[in-house]
Amino acid sequence: MLVINILTLFPEFFSSPLQTSMLKIAQTQQKIEFKLINIRDFAQDKHQITDEPPYGGGAGMIMKIEPIALALQSLKLEKNQPDKLILLTSAKGQLFTQALATEYSQLTELTLICGHYQDVDQRVADYLVDGEISIGNYILTGGEPATLVIADAVTRLIPGVLGNQASLANESHSQTQIKSAPQYTRPENYQGWTVPSVLLSGDHQKIEQWRKKKLKLN
Protein backbone atom coordinates (compact mmCIF):
# COMPACT_ATOMS: atom_id res chain seq x y z
CA MET A 1 0.00 0.00 0.00
CA LEU A 2 1.27 3.44 -0.91
CA VAL A 3 1.17 6.09 1.80
CA ILE A 4 0.93 9.70 0.67
CA ASN A 5 1.74 12.25 3.36
CA ILE A 6 0.51 15.78 2.67
CA LEU A 7 2.10 18.56 4.71
CA THR A 8 -0.03 21.67 4.45
CA LEU A 9 -1.14 24.82 6.23
CA PHE A 10 -4.68 24.18 4.98
CA PRO A 11 -5.69 20.53 5.50
CA GLU A 12 -9.34 21.45 5.00
CA PHE A 13 -8.55 22.03 1.31
CA PHE A 14 -8.34 18.26 0.85
CA SER A 15 -11.40 17.21 2.85
CA SER A 16 -13.80 16.81 -0.06
CA PRO A 17 -11.44 15.80 -2.93
CA LEU A 18 -9.89 12.92 -1.00
CA GLN A 19 -13.36 11.54 -0.31
CA THR A 20 -14.49 11.64 -3.92
CA SER A 21 -14.36 9.28 -6.90
CA MET A 22 -11.25 7.13 -7.40
CA LEU A 23 -9.36 8.66 -4.49
CA LYS A 24 -12.08 7.49 -2.12
CA ILE A 25 -12.32 4.07 -3.78
CA ALA A 26 -8.56 3.55 -3.57
CA GLN A 27 -8.65 4.22 0.17
CA THR A 28 -11.65 1.95 0.67
CA GLN A 29 -9.77 -0.81 -1.15
CA GLN A 30 -6.72 -0.13 1.04
CA LYS A 31 -4.60 0.53 -2.03
CA ILE A 32 -3.51 3.89 -0.68
CA GLU A 33 -3.50 5.86 2.56
CA PHE A 34 -3.54 9.64 2.76
CA LYS A 35 -2.14 11.33 5.85
CA LEU A 36 -2.86 15.03 6.28
CA ILE A 37 -0.33 16.82 8.47
CA ASN A 38 -1.03 20.39 9.57
CA ILE A 39 2.28 22.26 9.53
CA ARG A 40 0.90 24.75 12.07
CA ASP A 41 0.80 21.99 14.67
CA PHE A 42 4.60 22.07 14.69
CA ALA A 43 5.05 25.81 15.10
CA GLN A 44 7.02 26.53 18.27
CA ASP A 45 5.17 29.62 19.53
CA LYS A 46 1.76 30.16 21.04
CA HIS A 47 0.49 31.93 17.94
CA GLN A 48 1.51 29.02 15.65
CA ILE A 49 3.45 31.30 13.32
CA THR A 50 4.70 29.46 10.23
CA ASP A 51 5.88 32.37 8.11
CA GLU A 52 8.19 35.37 8.52
CA PRO A 53 9.42 38.28 6.37
CA PRO A 54 12.43 37.44 4.19
CA TYR A 55 15.95 38.23 5.29
CA GLY A 56 17.40 41.02 3.18
CA GLY A 57 13.99 42.56 2.58
CA GLY A 58 11.50 41.99 -0.17
CA ALA A 59 7.79 41.48 -0.72
CA GLY A 60 5.70 38.70 0.78
CA MET A 61 6.23 36.21 3.55
CA ILE A 62 8.42 33.10 3.65
CA MET A 63 7.43 29.75 5.14
CA LYS A 64 9.73 28.84 8.03
CA ILE A 65 11.92 25.76 7.96
CA GLU A 66 11.43 24.73 11.60
CA PRO A 67 7.75 23.62 11.51
CA ILE A 68 8.36 21.69 8.28
CA ALA A 69 11.44 19.97 9.70
CA LEU A 70 9.59 18.98 12.87
CA ALA A 71 6.63 17.68 10.86
CA LEU A 72 8.96 15.44 8.85
CA GLN A 73 10.66 14.27 12.04
CA SER A 74 7.28 13.28 13.48
CA LEU A 75 6.86 10.97 10.48
CA LYS A 76 10.43 9.65 10.87
CA LEU A 77 11.22 10.89 7.39
CA GLU A 78 14.38 12.29 5.88
CA LYS A 79 15.76 12.64 2.37
CA ASN A 80 17.41 9.75 0.52
CA GLN A 81 15.37 6.98 2.15
CA PRO A 82 14.86 3.84 0.00
CA ASP A 83 11.40 3.58 -1.66
CA LYS A 84 10.39 6.90 -0.12
CA LEU A 85 10.36 10.36 -1.60
CA ILE A 86 9.91 13.82 -0.09
CA LEU A 87 8.91 16.54 -2.55
CA LEU A 88 8.29 20.25 -2.18
CA THR A 89 5.77 21.81 -4.53
CA SER A 90 7.45 24.77 -6.17
CA ALA A 91 7.03 26.86 -9.31
CA LYS A 92 10.74 26.34 -9.97
CA GLY A 93 10.62 22.58 -9.51
CA GLN A 94 10.89 19.73 -12.00
CA LEU A 95 7.87 19.49 -14.30
CA PHE A 96 5.50 16.71 -13.24
CA THR A 97 4.91 14.13 -15.99
CA GLN A 98 3.14 10.84 -16.51
CA ALA A 99 6.50 9.09 -16.28
CA LEU A 100 7.05 10.60 -12.83
CA ALA A 101 3.51 9.64 -11.80
CA THR A 102 4.33 6.03 -12.70
CA GLU A 103 7.57 6.22 -10.74
CA TYR A 104 5.84 7.65 -7.68
CA SER A 105 3.09 5.00 -7.79
CA GLN A 106 5.72 2.34 -7.16
CA LEU A 107 6.98 3.89 -3.92
CA THR A 108 5.98 2.80 -0.43
CA GLU A 109 5.73 6.38 0.83
CA LEU A 110 5.39 9.71 -0.97
CA THR A 111 5.49 12.96 0.99
CA LEU A 112 4.30 16.21 -0.60
CA ILE A 113 4.97 19.52 1.10
CA CYS A 114 2.63 22.29 0.02
CA GLY A 115 4.45 25.55 -0.43
CA HIS A 116 2.57 28.74 0.33
CA TYR A 117 2.94 32.51 0.58
CA GLN A 118 5.76 34.16 -1.38
CA ASP A 119 8.15 31.23 -1.01
CA VAL A 120 9.59 28.57 1.30
CA ASP A 121 12.88 28.94 3.17
CA GLN A 122 15.50 27.66 0.71
CA ARG A 123 16.96 25.36 3.36
CA VAL A 124 13.89 23.13 3.01
CA ALA A 125 14.82 22.46 -0.61
CA ASP A 126 18.53 22.21 0.18
CA TYR A 127 18.44 19.90 3.19
CA LEU A 128 15.03 18.34 3.85
CA VAL A 129 13.57 17.12 0.55
CA ASP A 130 14.56 14.87 -2.34
CA GLY A 131 13.38 17.36 -4.92
CA GLU A 132 11.01 20.13 -5.96
CA ILE A 133 8.05 19.50 -8.26
CA SER A 134 5.84 21.75 -10.40
CA ILE A 135 2.70 20.95 -12.38
CA GLY A 136 3.16 23.75 -14.89
CA ASN A 137 4.63 27.10 -15.82
CA TYR A 138 2.21 29.25 -13.86
CA ILE A 139 1.83 30.52 -10.32
CA LEU A 140 -0.75 29.18 -7.85
CA THR A 141 -1.73 30.69 -4.52
CA GLY A 142 -0.27 27.62 -2.84
CA GLY A 143 0.92 24.09 -3.37
CA GLU A 144 -2.37 22.48 -2.38
CA PRO A 145 -3.91 22.33 -5.90
CA ALA A 146 -0.64 20.99 -7.32
CA THR A 147 -0.45 18.34 -4.61
CA LEU A 148 -3.98 17.22 -5.37
CA VAL A 149 -3.16 16.87 -9.07
CA ILE A 150 -0.11 14.75 -8.26
CA ALA A 151 -2.02 12.60 -5.77
CA ASP A 152 -4.78 11.93 -8.30
CA ALA A 153 -2.40 11.08 -11.14
CA VAL A 154 -0.40 8.72 -8.92
CA THR A 155 -3.38 7.02 -7.28
CA ARG A 156 -5.03 5.93 -10.52
CA LEU A 157 -1.84 4.13 -11.58
CA ILE A 158 -1.83 1.81 -8.58
CA PRO A 159 -2.83 -1.69 -9.74
CA GLY A 160 -6.45 -2.50 -8.94
CA VAL A 161 -7.62 1.09 -8.48
CA LEU A 162 -9.12 1.48 -11.96
CA GLY A 163 -11.80 -0.97 -13.00
CA ASN A 164 -10.07 -1.63 -16.32
CA GLN A 165 -6.29 -1.46 -16.00
CA ALA A 166 -5.92 -2.14 -19.72
CA SER A 167 -7.25 1.35 -20.41
CA LEU A 168 -4.06 2.82 -18.96
CA ALA A 169 -1.99 1.42 -21.80
CA ASN A 170 -3.95 3.37 -24.41
CA GLU A 171 -4.01 6.72 -22.69
CA SER A 172 -2.54 9.68 -24.51
CA HIS A 173 0.32 10.32 -22.08
CA SER A 174 1.17 6.71 -21.27
CA GLN A 175 3.37 6.34 -24.33
CA THR A 176 5.52 8.80 -26.26
CA GLN A 177 2.55 10.50 -27.87
CA ILE A 178 1.02 13.53 -26.19
CA LYS A 179 -2.33 13.51 -27.97
CA SER A 180 -5.13 11.03 -28.51
CA ALA A 181 -7.54 10.37 -31.35
CA PRO A 182 -11.08 11.79 -31.03
CA GLN A 183 -13.46 9.68 -28.93
CA TYR A 184 -17.25 9.38 -29.24
CA THR A 185 -20.10 7.66 -27.43
CA ARG A 186 -23.92 7.52 -27.55
CA PRO A 187 -26.06 9.00 -28.99
CA GLU A 188 -24.91 8.30 -32.53
CA ASN A 189 -26.66 11.45 -33.75
CA TYR A 190 -27.12 14.53 -31.58
CA GLN A 191 -28.81 17.51 -33.21
CA GLY A 192 -27.32 16.51 -36.56
CA TRP A 193 -23.80 16.05 -35.17
CA THR A 194 -22.95 12.49 -36.05
CA VAL A 195 -20.31 9.97 -35.06
CA PRO A 196 -17.85 9.08 -37.87
CA SER A 197 -19.23 6.04 -39.66
CA VAL A 198 -15.96 4.11 -39.46
CA LEU A 199 -16.32 3.89 -35.68
CA LEU A 200 -19.68 2.18 -36.15
CA SER A 201 -18.42 -0.28 -38.74
CA GLY A 202 -17.10 -2.95 -36.40
CA ASP A 203 -13.99 -3.19 -38.60
CA HIS A 204 -11.22 -2.90 -36.01
CA GLN A 205 -8.46 -2.62 -38.59
CA LYS A 206 -10.14 0.33 -40.28
CA ILE A 207 -10.87 1.92 -36.93
CA GLU A 208 -7.21 1.63 -35.92
CA GLN A 209 -6.11 3.13 -39.24
CA TRP A 210 -8.57 6.01 -38.78
CA ARG A 211 -7.26 6.71 -35.28
CA LYS A 212 -3.64 6.67 -36.43
CA LYS A 213 -4.51 9.07 -39.24
CA LYS A 214 -6.23 11.44 -36.81
CA LEU A 215 -3.18 11.38 -34.53
CA LYS A 216 -0.94 12.39 -37.44
CA LEU A 217 -3.32 15.20 -38.39
CA ASN A 218 -3.30 16.49 -34.82
CATH of domain 2-155: 3.40.1280.10
pLDDT over threshold 90, residue 216: no
The predicted pLDDT at position 171 comes to 53
The burial of 193, by beta-carbon neighbours within 10 Å (0-12 exposed, 13-18 middle, 19 or more buried), is given as: exposed
Strand partners, 115: none
Domain boundaries, the chain: 2-155, 181-217
- For the domain made up of 181-217, give the CATH fold: Trp Operon Repressor; Chain A (1.10.1270)
The predicted pLDDT at position 34 comes to 98
pLDDT-wise least confident of 42-51, 93-102, 136-145, 168-177: 168-177
2 touches 157 (CB < 8 A)? no
pLDDT over threshold 50, residue 67: yes
Cα separation values, 64 from 29, 56, 144, Å:
37, 15, 17
The predicted pLDDT at position 164 comes to 58
Sign of torsion, CA 150 143 148 185?
A: negative
Q: What is the mean pLDDT of the chain?
A: 92
169-202 residue pLDDT tens: 555 445 444 578 899 999 999 999 999 999 999 9
